[in-house]
């Protein structure tokens, strides 16, 4: 087979990663057939879910048509994915259609699964037990917060990994600010419950964010592995028999990859695709890649990881398409804004080998962003990213940030 002859790339999922991939490859390999599959035509700016409960984002600002952001010439197939046949290099849809491919990108992300925790789903789901990791959940949490006037708010993480691991902390900080603004903070107890041994996964960041919780009077409960939610008694119970009561529970359910990944024998126990962490190539099939949240990369499941890893992956894929070895390696670079309330935010920048450090970003000394330090500039940067997302990131236009983590401007302890 001639490696330079046009082939087909099939992309499963038209979220952040899938849309960027389809647009970049269509532009760089215009003779290739690029096809994207998704169940519907709804594309959500998922970082916006966090702000809906607090009235910062309107729902219409975060929900648009998928096709709007896919380049002309990219074929779009609407349908539910049933099974991948990696040996036959084909994908079967639930309605019986079959799509063949030369190369496959799995970019179907990760989804909250409240059905995996006993008692989480029930008559109080999306009322006194709610979440903000889905569009409907964010709206339900907005309504729950409006009804809440006093008592104990418990913000809870079921298990890692989760999409945007800083989002539960952000929600907690914003809730503190929200109740303060309503004049009822002294009537609300906030408890942050995590399966981790600290506020976050990285030691320096965990320490700083733990201090931030304490400064706001938030109680931190660590090493809590949930066994069940008791909606009638209004409490959560851990496997070591600890119990934490709540008046309003905002939980982050177990996150899992798409079910078809598991059915196809391509996933781990959480339906994430095992890949080489530097090339995103499946460890089982060299014609399959997993990008964005669908991969089992040992770094944050965040939009910045999708962005940086796809920049690296694109150059590798062009080499592969030309019959050459892939020579580029993704370093696990993640860049996360952390809303801290009162119109400020922190910024984390890290990779596989280097934890978040203090300093400035993206320019040494100049910044204008500050790392692991609250600032108004960081907050404005997070708000501005929504425009950048719709108009530059999704269309696959170059963004002047290096894919690899840079140490310039950072202070190592």
**What was the pLDDT predicted at 401?**
87
75-102 average pLDDT score? 98
68-87 average pLDDT score? 97
Tokens of 206: 């965990």
The mean predicted confidence, pLDDT, of the chain is: 95
Q: How confident is the model at residue 205 (pLDDT cuts 50, 70, 90)?
A: confident
Q: How confident is the model at residue 60 (pLDDT cuts 50, 70, 90)?
A: confident
Q: Which of 278, 353, 285 is nearest to 309 (CA)?
A: 278
Q: How confident is the model at residue 59 (pLDDT cuts 50, 70, 90)?
A: confident
Q: In what order do the strands lie in the sheet with 33-38?
A: 75-78, 33-38, 8-12, 103-106, 288-290
Is the pLDDT confidence value at 2 over 70? Answer: no
Scanning the structure block, which residue is given the tokens 């989480």? 120
**What was the pLDDT predicted at 93?**
98
Q: DSSP alpha helices (H): ranges in 148-255?
A: 167-181, 203-215
Choose between 114 and 401: higher pLDDT: 114
CA distances from 80 to 77, 98, 309 (A): 10, 11, 26
Q: DSSP alpha helices (H): ranges in 246-375?
A: 259-263, 303-321
155-175 average pLDDT score? 97
249-267 average pLDDT score? 98
- 12-39 pLDDT, tens per residue? 999 999 999 999 999 999 999 999 999 9
Q: How confident is the model at residue 326 (pLDDT cuts 50, 70, 90)?
A: very high
Is the pLDDT confidence value at 332 over 80? Answer: yes
Is the pLDDT confidence value at 61 over 90? Answer: no
277-286 average pLDDT score? 98
Q: What H or E segment, with its residue span, contains residue 228? A: strand 226-230
Is the pLDDT confidence value at 1 over 60? Answer: no
Which domains does the chain show, CATH number per domain?
8-111+256-321 (3.50.50.60), 113-254 (3.50.50.60), 334-411 (no CATH)
In 3-state terms, what secondary structure has residue 51? helix
Q: How confident is the model at residue 3 (pLDDT cuts 50, 70, 90)?
A: low
Question: Torsion angle, CA of 280/386/58/15, rounded to 10 degrees?
Answer: -20
Q: Which of 345, 59, 57, 56 is nearest to 181 (CA)?
A: 56
- 340-381 pLDDT, tens per residue? 999 999 999 999 999 898 999 998 888 899 999 999 999 999
10 Å CB burial of residue 28 (0-12, 13-18, 19+) is middle
């Amino acid at each position: 087979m001639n490696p330079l002859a046009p082939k087909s790339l099939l992309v499963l999922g038209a979220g952040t990663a899938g849309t960027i991939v389809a647009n970049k490859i269509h532009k760089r390999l215009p003779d290739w057939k690029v096809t994207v599959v998704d169940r519907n035509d709804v594309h959500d700016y998922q970082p916006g879910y966090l702000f809906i409960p607090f009235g910062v984002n309107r729902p219409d600002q975060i929900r648009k048509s998928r096709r709007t952001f896919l380049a002309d010439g990219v074929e779009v197939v609407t349908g539910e994915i049933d099974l991948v046949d990696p040996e036959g290099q084909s994908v079967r849809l639930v309605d019986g259609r079959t799509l063949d491919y030369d190369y496959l990108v799995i970019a179907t992300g990760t989804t909250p699964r409240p059905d995996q925790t006993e008692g989480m789903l029930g008559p109080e789901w999306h009322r006194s037990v709610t979440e903000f990791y889905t569009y409907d959940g964010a709206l339900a949490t907005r309504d729950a917060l409006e009804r809440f006037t006093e008592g104990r708010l418990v913000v809870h993480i079921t298990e890692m990994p989760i999409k945007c691991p800083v989002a539960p902390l952000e929600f907690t900080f914003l809730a503190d600010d929200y109740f303060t603004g309503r004049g009822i903070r002294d009537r609300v107890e906030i408890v942050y419950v995590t399966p981790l041994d600290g506020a976050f996964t990285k030691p320096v960041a965990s320490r700083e964010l733990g201090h931030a919780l304490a400064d706001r009077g938030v109680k931190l409960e660590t090493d809590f592995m949930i066994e069940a939610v008791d909606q009638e008694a209004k409490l959560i119970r851990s496997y070591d028999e600890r119990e934490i009561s709540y008046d309003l529970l905002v939980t982050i359910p177990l996150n899992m990859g798409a079910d078809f990944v598991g059915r196809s024998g391509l996933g781990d126990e959480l339906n994430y695709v095992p890949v080489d962490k530097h090339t995103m190539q499946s460890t089982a099939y060299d014609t399959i890649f997993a990008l964005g949240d669908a991969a089992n990369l040992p770094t944050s499941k965040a939009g910045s990881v999708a962005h940086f890893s796809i920049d690296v992956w694109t150059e590798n894929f062009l080499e592969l398409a030309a019959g050459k070895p892939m020579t580029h390696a993704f370093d696990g670079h993640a860049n996360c804004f952390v809303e801290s309330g009162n119109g400020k935010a922190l910024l984390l920048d890290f990779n596989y080998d280097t934890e978040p450090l203090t300093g400035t970003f993206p320019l040494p000394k100049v910044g204008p962003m500050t790392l692991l330090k609250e600032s108004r500039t960081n907050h404005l940067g997070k708000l501005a990213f929504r425009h950048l997302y719709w108009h530059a990131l999704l269309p696959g236009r170059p963004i002047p940030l290096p894919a690899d983590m840079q140490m310039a401007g950072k202070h190592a302890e």
